[in-house]
Amino acid sequence: MNATDIQIAICGSAGDGTIAAGDILRNAVAAAGYRVICFDVYPPEIRGFGKCISRLRITTEQSYSLKRQSDVLVSLDDSHAIPHAGEVRDNGAVIFESQSIAQCGEGEHMSGHVLPGQIPYGFPMRELAQKATGGARSRNLVVLGYIAGLLGLAPTSFQRIIEKKFAKQGPAVVSRNQAGFQAGFDAGAGTFKLDDVAFGPFEKPASAGKVIMLSGNAAVVQGCLDAELDTFFGYPITPATTIMERLASELPKRGRRLLQTECEISAIAATIGAGFAGSRTATATSGPGLALMAEMLGLATMTETPCVVFVSQRGGPSTGMPTKTEQSDLNAALYGSPGDAQRIVIAPTNVEGCYRCAGKAFEMAERYQTPVIVLLDLYLSNRYETVTLSESGSPFVLDANKPLRRLEPGEAYQRYALTPDGISPRAVPGDANCMHVVTGLEHNELGRPNDSAEMHTAMSRKRHDKLLGALEHPDFTVTKRFGDTGKVKVGILAWGSTFGECLEAMFMAQAEGIRCAAMKVVMLSPFPEKAISAFMDDCDAVLVPEVNYEGQFAQLVQGVLARPVVRLSRVPSSPMPVELILGEIRRLSGVNA
């Protein structure tokens, strides 16, 4: 069987329906059984400006990142798509409007930018939309039909998705969009195909669970729901907003609460308050919001209050680049509170990981009585993947929130008792015989203010040591090694969304005969020192690719382990290119491409 591995990029202007086209396409191919990774890039402006790109990689086998080169590029707006023409591989297809109605400046049409090795497909998408639907708004549907017809994809799954997507707008809208799709499909099927982009024969594999298409943020929401999140407090910010949007519709259906607060400070304060009251609770934000939450997070650490903060990183500092991905909030997540305010920081590496980390974050927050930051980024939040979820109920521990033990009448309750593992008996307001003081001041075991050196030292140690248990948290992948076993030339150490690109690069390097391995580091705090150190022992060179300028993770590794690593720190406003990582692997292994 020839494995399918096709990447399609749809590029247009805000308002062209670019993202909507990508959404229908990814859902249609996923429904047909293919694995999909999709990442949308859109401008900060709402409409009428800026570039939108929806890139989808469609495979029969699991893939881990987008490819550098697309197989098909569709232009819904040449002014935006022309700079991307070079991203299409040789013998790939470039699809564009052949009969613009507006005057086109010289050199401003896609046909002049199709490279000699690529195959141009100009077709009258506007005219077809006009004829089929009476308007040009369905151009994106016409284009989808053209892609399906040209590549020989069955129209049925598209038709089903279109019907579902537009059902709320009434049968006339559904019918118009179906007509647009069909017109494009007929045009595509009737086009002489010269490119070599082909879907291989494919049998839908028997799945071990439910295969669904989710974005990273949608997976976070699903994880929250499956972990039985009680309350959510948030203030909108790109790219975290969709977490709150989805929860806003889902939580009330389950009799649970969501409150949009007036700012991020209120959001974290309310979250901590809910956590104190025994609610399974969370908030979501991005870098600027995390900065505002820094002080209150220190309170959660000091009061040992469970709460979960989802942080989706974007380009910074300050307002920065709200619609561009980056991994530059690691330091803020690790250290961004005054005092020794250590907390658990975990970073999923793919969409399925978003689901698992979301659910596990609540277990950890409650078991270790601490804030947990789940560090996402725009690439992960907005990326769609087909994921396989268990059909046998929630995989998360749902009772971690229960008080650790019940006191007998007359027994003195010590909320901050110094225990061997640092975890004290937790009580929530209303628990019998468990009255105690809670304060942001340093305190003794009863919670009463105490600033003696001995108590501060003991409590600091307690707050630090109790987190170490998270390194062995049940059923949670703290780190995982891939690739060659034993000694390798190059080891790649990566975190967050960049790990997918690292894994692709590692596979490509292995195919070139380079012995290499990759380790994903999901838990960033507490730092999994032993596992990373053991991995580094096996590597002649350790490469740390990450999408930030200062090499924040590399600094963390070097700071803790005092061992050299090779930094690959870039801020390309987009995911780290696989070829860049591969080039570094080659260089470090002494192999020239």
User: CB of 96: closest distance to other proteins in angstroms?
Assistant: 8
CA–CA separation, 515 and 506 (whole Å): 9
**Of 108 and 475, CB closest to other proteins:** 108
CA–CA separation, 82 and 286 (whole Å): 32
User: By rule CB under 8 A, what string of x and - marks binding of each residue 78-97 to other proteins?
Assistant: ------------x------x
Cβ(462)–Cβ(415) under 8 Å?
no
Asked if the peptide bond before residue 83 counts as cis, ω within 30 degrees of 0, the response is no
**Of 122 and 320, CB closest to other proteins:** 122
By the rule CB under 8 A, 108 interacts with other proteins: yes
* DSSP structure string for 17-79: SHHHHHHHHHHHHHHTT-EEEEEEE--SSSSSSSEEEEEEEEESS---S--SSEEEEEES-HH
CA–CA separation, 342 and 362 (whole Å): 17
- E strands of 365-441, at which residues? 371-377, 383-389
By the rule CB under 8 A, 152 interacts with other proteins: no
**Of 86 and 252, CB closest to other proteins:** 86
User: CB of 126: closest distance to other proteins in angstroms?
Assistant: 10
Q: Which stretch binds other proteins (CB under 8 A): 24-32, 99-107, 440-448, 575-583?
A: 99-107
**Of 126 and 415, CB closest to other proteins:** 126
By the rule CB under 8 A, 190 interacts with other proteins: no
Cβ(518)–Cβ(502) under 8 Å?
yes
Q: Binding residue for other proteins (CB under 8 A) from 192, 472, 562, 593?
A: 192
**Of 43 and 120, CB closest to other proteins:** 120
Q: Which stretch binds other proteins (CB under 8 A): 102-110, 155-163, 295-303, 528-536?
A: 102-110
Site for other proteins in 453-482 (CB under 8 A): none
CA–CA separation, 347 and 354 (whole Å): 8
Q: Binding residue for other proteins (CB under 8 A) from 105, 201, 420, 430?
A: 105
User: CB of 76: closest distance to other proteins in angstroms?
Assistant: 14
Q: Binding residue for other proteins (CB under 8 A) from 62, 99, 260, 439?
A: 99
Q: Which stretch binds other proteins (CB under 8 A): 116-124, 148-156, 215-223, 397-405?
A: 116-124
**Of 190 and 429, CB closest to other proteins:** 190
Q: Binding residue for other proteins (CB under 8 A) from 29, 119, 214, 302?
A: 119
Q: Which stretch binds other proteins (CB under 8 A): 103-111, 133-141, 322-330, 582-590?
A: 103-111
Q: What is the DSSP letter of 512?
A: T
Torsion over CA of 268, 273, 274 and 277, rounded to 10 degrees?
A: 160
- Looking at the DSSP assignment, which residues form a beta bridge with residue 376? 312
Q: Binding residue for other proteins (CB under 8 A) from 37, 38, 82, 114?
A: 114
Cβ(490)–Cβ(583) under 8 Å?
no
By the rule CB under 8 A, 535 interacts with other proteins: no
By the rule CB under 8 A, 201 interacts with other proteins: no
Phi, psi of 406 (to 5 degrees): -100, 140
CA–CA separation, 412 and 428 (whole Å): 15
By the rule CB under 8 A, 553 interacts with other proteins: no
CA–CA separation, 91 and 549 (whole Å): 36
Q: Binding residue for other proteins (CB under 8 A) from 2, 62, 111, 207?
A: 111
C-alpha distances (whole Å) from 535 to each of 235, 472, 517, 521, 541 are 40, 17, 9, 11, 11
**Of 108 and 451, CB closest to other proteins:** 108
Map residue 352 onto helix, strand or coil.
helix
By the rule CB under 8 A, 117 interacts with other proteins: yes
Residue pointed to by tokens 């907003």: 241
Map residue 474 onto helix, strand or coil.
coil
Q: Which stretch binds other proteins (CB under 8 A): 113-121, 366-374, 477-485, 577-585?
A: 113-121
Torsion over CA of 331, 332, 336 and 341, rounded to 10 degrees?
A: -60
Q: Binding residue for other proteins (CB under 8 A) from 48, 116, 410, 513?
A: 116
User: By rule CB under 8 A, what string of x and - marks binding of each residue 42-81 to other proteins?
Assistant: ----------------------------------------
CA–CA separation, 94 and 115 (whole Å): 9
CA–CA separation, 336 and 330 (whole Å): 9
Torsion over CA of 123, 129, 132 and 133, rounded to 10 degrees?
A: 180
Q: Binding residue for other proteins (CB under 8 A) from 100, 175, 238, 558?
A: 100
Q: Which stretch binds other proteins (CB under 8 A): 98-106, 360-368, 455-463, 483-491?
A: 98-106
**Of 120 and 320, CB closest to other proteins:** 120
Residues that bind other proteins (CB under 8 A): 90, 97-109, 111-112, 114-117, 119-122, 192, 194
